[in-house]
Amino acid sequence: NAYVTGIGASKRVVMWDTTLAKTTSDEALFIIGHELGHYVLGHVAAGFLFFAASLLVALYILFRALHWSLHRWGGDWKIYGPEDWASLAVILLIFQLLMFLSAPVENGFSRRQEHAADVYGLEIIHGIVPNSEDVAAHGFQVLGELDLSDPNPPPFITFWLYSHPPLAERLVFAHSYDPWAKDEKPRYVK
């Protein structure tokens, strides 16, 4: 529905026309604040470095697993080495297995970034938008409806598959995050 992307002069925030059509101006402002949070908090660069390091580790594991599996079963499969084109099927199988097993780590990293951007979005619109907590919560609800997302998935599904916090958690957070009422300092926007 919206995202921030790019490095250097190509940095940009993109908001889809369907999102703009379904949200009010204040909700769109919160969504832009959330996406700007990704930019200000350095999530694009951190995500790039995290996934580059993850890919490096995955390629090493892939290399070791390919040689091990070909040594173990290559004769049965009639695959005589990694240079054999048939080993591509083994590489793809191992890569899919690695992607499946690494999903909780990658999604956990993404959920942390998304939560931080939620905090930033709430802080940036506070004092500008009346009832900012309600506006943010309704913005989350609209995005959840557009995505057809399950508002309250089982914890295991959230842990394994969700790159964003579940909708119910985001709604509760939007309504409960109010450091100004407790005379506390906000986390990001001073």
Is 35 known to be catalytic? yes
CB-CB contact of 159 with 104 (8 Å): yes
Catalytic residue (one of 35, 114, 133, 169): 35
* 19-to-22, 24, 154 alpha-carbon distances in Å: 5, 9, 27
Instruction: Give the tokens for residue 63.
Output: 């290399």
* 120-to-20, 93, 107, 115, 168 alpha-carbon distances in Å: 20, 40, 20, 9, 19
Contacting residues for 95 by C-beta, under 8 A, at least 6 apart? 58, 62
Q: Rounded to the nearest 5 degrees, what angle is found at the Cα of 187, between the Cα atoms of 45 and 166? A: 70
Q: Report the C-alpha gap between 110 and 157 in whole angstroms.
A: 15
Angle between helices 87-125 and 25-40 (to 10 degrees): 120
**Residues with active-site annotation:** 35
